[in-house]
Amino acid sequence: MSPATSSRWCPTPEQLMILEELYRSGIRTPNASQIQHITTHLSFYGRIEGKNVFYWFQNHKARERQKLRRKLGKQLQQQHQLYHHHHQPNHSQLKHHLLHYFDSRASSPLQQFSCFSPVRFLPQGGQSENAPQQMMNHTWKVNIPESRAEIGKSLMGMYGRDWIMMMDAAAAPPPSPSCCASRPPLKTLQLFPITATNLKEECNSDSSNKHLSCNTTINN
Amino acid sequence: MSPATSSRWCPTPEQLMILEELYRSGIRTPNASQIQHITTHLSFYGRIEGKNVFYWFQNHKARERQKLRRKLGKQLQQQHQLYHHHHQPNHSQLKHHLLHYFDSRASSPLQQFSCFSPVRFLPQGGQSENAPQQMMNHTWKVNIPESRAEIGKSLMGMYGRDWIMMMDAAAAPPPSPSCCASRPPLKTLQLFPITATNLKEECNSDSSNKHLSCNTTINN
DNA sequence: GCAAATTAATGATTTATTCAAG
DNA sequence: CTTGAATAAATCATTAATTTGC
């Protein structure tokens, strides 16, 4: 029960706020670099690891989706029994269409190709171009001969397209590992100069079929 | 299309054979150490990475399961319409029971607790106790201060319980990276002195309910 | 007020499904 | 058509809210 023995990550309010803001700004499936940066940044507010960020986005996306799914289901059902009793336009399918909003590939195409752009917040200034080699974001085919002992804790994310490898960003143990350490708000505000492409979250029924038609025509 | 650019791993026959043998011997969900060892060993027969091993077991387990599922489904259905036409004993549930064979936690309990035992094959002799620190299998809370540049390619397996981190075992580039490089059989035979606990693969219908009862009574 | 007991949230794992190379 | 790779869905498990009886 001691905070050091706590088996799972307990996000501080600041961490949570930032994560949610990033999510709102369009990030759904951060890749290795993004996770690394986010983790580094958030580690300032408390202990955190890459996997926590990874999981958080995965869970949050899934749960927002299911929330929306439920809401839409109820809504459509209601609408249905109010108006036309027959001639059903296949609700589940419509729901399915709408839910494409949450697909990481479908949403925010910008974030798929620019590695760092969505996470422009590093408090140490925006010199993210100065230390690119720390990320080794290009290949996982290098031969590291023997220095096994100093691997980092690293992440295999069967995610971003290739397996992400990154050190745990939360190297510095924060002085107050317990939750709810309310720090000064800091630079949280300059975090999101992001061209939020297509978010909208509480999606309102329309304009989603374009997505789908695009998707469905691709395969088969 | 060139072997260096090939987008996905193409297992050599030897690699495949060994993997299947390991699978038959009871391994379903190898943990970090096991993946590491397997990868190291298999890398002798051709280029391979930890994630390949990881994926292979995942896919193989899933597909054996679905194969069995289909077979059982057909079989039961057939039996059903041959004999008693009514009084159905809930087939889907029975299938569900049988499929517990494939659950990594349910099967081969030995492999869950002994890290190295199922993979006792290291060709360099069984001195696996001499270099334990290369695996860092105890904690993911160490601080690696700055040596980011020499991370390995590492794996985050949201698998064994904690995130596995391991170097890619296939450090040495094999002379013939193309598939189907038939090497001499080598020590493939001394690989499996494993106490195969409960395998049986082509499971024959009975004896599976114990599993389930054990599982269901635990939670709730 | 305050713990024990319940319930709700959510972090972490595992399984199922889908995509796409060959 | 097979199967390696990737993603989404379902599930498990632990922590936080909340309720309840005292």
Nucleotides of D under 7 A from a protein CB: 3-10, 12-16
Q: What is the pLDDT of residue B62?
A: 87
The closest CB to that of A150, out of B141, B144, B173, belongs to B144
Provide the shortest C-alpha distance from residue B60 to chain A (in Å). 17
**Does pTM surpass 0.85?**
no
B175-216 pLDDT, tens digit per residue, is 343 344 444 333 332 333 233 333 333 333 333 333 333 333
Taking residues A191-219, report their average pLDDT.
34
A99-155 pLDDT, tens digit per residue, is 665 654 433 333 333 333 334 443 333 333 332 223 333 222 222 222 222 223 334
Instruction: Find chain B residues with C-beta within 8 A of A166's C-beta.
Output: 151
A118 Cβ contact partners less than 8 Å away, ≥ 6 residues apart: A22, A25, A26, A27, A34, A108, A110, A111, A194
Asked if A153 lies within 8 A of B165 by C-beta distance, the reply is: yes
Taking residues B93-121, report their average pLDDT.
43
Taking residues A197-213, report their average pLDDT.
35
Distance CA A170, CA A36 (A): 10
Maximum distance among all Cα pairs of chain B, rounded to whole angstroms:
71
Which stretch, A49-53, A173-177, B64-68, B99-103, has highest mean pLDDT?
A49-53
Helices (H), A50-184: 50-82, 91-99, 110-113
Nucleotides of C under 7 A from a protein CB: 10-17, 19-22
Q: Is A143 on the interface with B (CB under 8 A)?
A: yes
Q: In Å, what is the CA distance from A123 to each residue of A44, A49, A182, B194, B202?
A: 10, 18, 18, 54, 58
Q: Which of residues 121-160 of A touch strand D (CB under 7 A)?
A: 158-160
Higher pLDDT, B172 or B182: B182
Q: Is A141 on the interface with B (CB under 8 A)?
A: yes
SS (H, E, C) B33-101: HHHHHHHHHHHHHCCCCHHHHHHHHHHHHHHHHHHHHHHHHHHHHHHHHHCCCCCCCCHHHHHHHHHHH
CA A3 / C1′ C19 distance in Å: 42
Q: Is A164 on the interface with B (CB under 8 A)?
A: yes
Residue in B with minimal Cα distance to A162: B51
The closest CB to that of A171, out of B54, B145, B150, belongs to B145
Q: What is the pLDDT of residue A81?
A: 72
Count of CB pairs separated by less than 8 Å, A with B: 102
